Structure 1
Amino acid sequence: MAEGILRPLGSSDLRLSPLGLGCWQFSKGRGLVGKFWPVLEDSVIRDIVRTSWEGGINWFDTAEAYGGGQSEEMLADALSALGEAGRGAHVATKWWPIMRTAGNIGKTIDERLRRLKGWPIDLYQVHQPYSFSSAASEMHAMAKLVQQGRIKHVGVSNFTADKMAEADKALREHGLRLVSNQVKYSLLDRRIERNGIMEAAKELGVAIIAYSPLEQGILSGKFHSNPELVKQISGPRKWSSGFKPEALNRTRPLIDRLNELADKYGASPSQVSLNWLIHAHGETVFAIPGASKPHHAQENVNAMRFTLSQEEIGELAELADRSKR
């Protein structure tokens, strides 16, 4: 792996690259959520993981829900294909809580470990805040797994500020801390800055892991330069309001500025958008863009090769705010 700038994940001892690789697209078309992406060949998955690793990304985010464990298996195989050089890679995965209780966490951990084929779980996350148990009960179950040495750190996903505080309080009873909250966050979706989640994360020392960091590809600018591409979108993504003509018109000033900054830094609008995410709040925010082709992975890693100025970060935030008015 190329040496990059690593940062601590929340209060943990994990030192991770600001960008990780989101692995939802490794689901092989299995299950309900797996159909969101086209089926990728095993060789393509290996190339995506290798390109990410060699470019400086040292952690990979998957989940039980991604193809019912298929993404975990594909990731494990791709990491193993790196050989001895890839032994320092970190894996984050998630427990699916819907229609379950906290008792299921301990009952299903062996299946998660089996799917990951010997790769340790550095970060185990509760995928949604909805289960038949409280956040505190879930954290007590997670703490037991840490004590047993079956996982290393505990995170959550899509938790509100209050639930983050509840989770962290429960973990403290075991001498642990909540490490991360994975939420939707991008230049065009900054709700966590207004609903207390970002503030709570900073107060608790919890890392924010941003998913959908390019807002379904809108921040790439390709749909602004060629609106006809919207007609080619397949799957649920095509119904996103951001692809409507009036929305593209509202966000055009932001995209124009992203293009200008891309020219300045020898980057792309997508890379500038990702760079904004990982620098706008110090070291609090990590992001997990996906990649369905190796060149997408290369695009991701290049987003860590420069740093926007504070003035540019503020300017982009203001343009993003105006696009919502």
Structure 2
Amino acid sequence: MISPQSTPRYTPADDRYDRMEYRYCGRSGLKLPRISLGLWHNFGGDTPHSLKRELCRTSFDNGITHFDLANNYGPPPGSAEEAFGEILKTDFAGYRDELIISTKAGYGMWPGPYGEWGSRKYLIASCDQSLKRMGLEYVDIFYSHRLDPNTPLEETMGALDQIVRSGKALYVGVSSYNSERTRQAVEILNDMGTPCIIHQPSYNIINRWVERDGLLETLDDLGVGSIVFTPLAQGMLTGKYLNGIPAESRAAQGKSLDKDWLTEDVIRRLNGLNDIAKERRQTLAQMAIAWVLRGNVTTALIGASKASQIEECLLAIENTTFTDEELSKIDALADSSDEINIWSQSSEGV
């Protein structure tokens, strides 16, 4: 159990809903904020709880109502859900019905053959564990975190259907499924009467797999919403790497960003993108988020290591319009043979 520090009772900003735009998620009745907070990074046991509370408070004060987790977020796995559960008891006590809380299962959580992938055994057990860690009766969205190539899709989708029918989730979604598999999953769920309302793919200026795959068009056709993760390419599309690799960065520490990706040519391209952002009177991060939101994407999922980063990202929604010239320049700078997609095995190869 995390012991909350003695701080004054939190009261969210009265004008929080005036600060945010909301968009319907596909053809569902659920609205999501244009920017959502992901708790993949900086929410495990290696981050002070006071910082986690500050990140959540800043988000909610600015109308971010959606908080995205997964069973394996940490480190150690499960600790992000535990920390968020404590914040639900303290800072967000009384505000549960104003929040959209999502979690997922698909990656490794415990030893043995039942601790990962997409079997009914694993997904339902993992959902139960996630609810216990967060102290919740249900989550708003539960995802199949990645496609299991060895489990029948009917079994995985059947588990999602059962989770909804048992009252443990209100909606279901998938993450990193390619276009073909998404169509199959949606058809199965529709036949069961539990529609898939959302897909969570990786997508950013550098990582364009969803465009080659036709996923966004597929989602529009199916009436499924989208929440794109890594819109800042694990920090590459910020000002952090414009002059090389800082010692305290993810790349230098080997945390989900390979420093070998940051070649001289890539850094040159990042600086070119930064120049375009300056012309738009945006930071590189703001432009990168605006770029993924320019079309039919429902919401962009950001992470943060400090509250000021959330505040900076929120300014992106003030200008999500691009000229054809700007888009052409961005495409030219992003057209690299060393395209970065660390999720390619789960999104494209199955």
Q: Which residue of 2 aligns with 1:274?
A: 289
For 1:130 and 1:148, the matched residues in 2 are separated by 23
- 1:54-105 Cα offsets, whole Å, 9 max, x none, are 1121101100011322111212222441343564011010012535522322
1:58 matched to 2:75? The reply is: no
CA RMSD of aligned residues (A): 2.4
For 1:238 and 1:141, the matched residues in 2 are separated by 33
For 1:196 and 1:230, the matched residues in 2 are separated by 38
Q: What does residue range 221-240 of structure 1 map to in structure 2 within 5 Å?
A: 221-224=239-242, 226-227=243-244, 229=246, 233-237=252-256, 239-240=258-259
Q: Which residue of 1 aligns with 2:122?
A: 104
Q: Which residue of 35, 56, 65 corresponds with 1:49?
A: 56
Q: Which residue of 1 aligns with 2:17?
A: 2
- 1:116-136 Cα offsets, whole Å, 9 max, x none, are 212631110011112642222
For 1:188 and 1:272, the matched residues in 2 are separated by 13
- 1:167-193 Cα offsets, whole Å, 9 max, x none, are 111111122221122111001111110
Is 1:26–1:75's contact at 8 Å kept on the other side of the alignment?
no
Q: Which residue of 1 aligns with 2:11?
A: none
Change (3 A) 1:319 1:258: farther
Change (3 A) 1:58 1:132: same
1:156 matched to 2:165? The reply is: no
Change (3 A) 1:7 1:238: closer
1:208 matched to 2:208? The reply is: no
- 1:183-217 Cα offsets, whole Å, 9 max, x none, are 11001111110112222112112222211111121
The alignment covers a number of residue pairs equal to 309
Change (3 A) 1:143 1:237: closer
- 1:6-54 Cα offsets, whole Å, 9 max, x none, are 111123221110111010124425xxxxxxxxx2111110000010111
- 1:261-317 Cα offsets, whole Å, 9 max, x none, are 1x2xxx4221121011112x23x3421110111112222222223332454663454
Q: Which residue of 1 aligns with 2:278?
A: 259
TM-score with structure 1 setting the length = 0.86
The runs of 5 or more residues in structure 1 that have no matched partner are 30-38
Q: What does residue range 44-193 of structure 1 map to in structure 2 within 5 Å?
A: 44-67=51-74, 68-80=77-89, 81-85=91-95, 87-96=97-106, 98=116, 101-118=119-136, 120-130=138-148, 132-193=150-211
Is 1:64–1:112's contact at 8 Å kept on the other side of the alignment?
yes
Q: Tell which deviates more after alignment, 165-174 or 96-105.
A: 96-105
Letter in 2 for 1:84: G
Shift of 1:321: 4.2
Identity %: 26
Name the SS of the counterpart of 1:84 in structure 2. Answer: coil
Is 2:22–2:33's contact at 8 Å kept on the other side of the alignment?
yes
Q: Which residue of 1 aligns with 2:312?
A: 299
Q: Larger helix proportion, structure 1 or 2?
A: 1
Is 2:201–2:226's contact at 8 Å kept on the other side of the alignment?
yes
For 1:89 and 1:71, the matched residues in 2 are separated by 17
1:243 matched to 2:253? The reply is: no
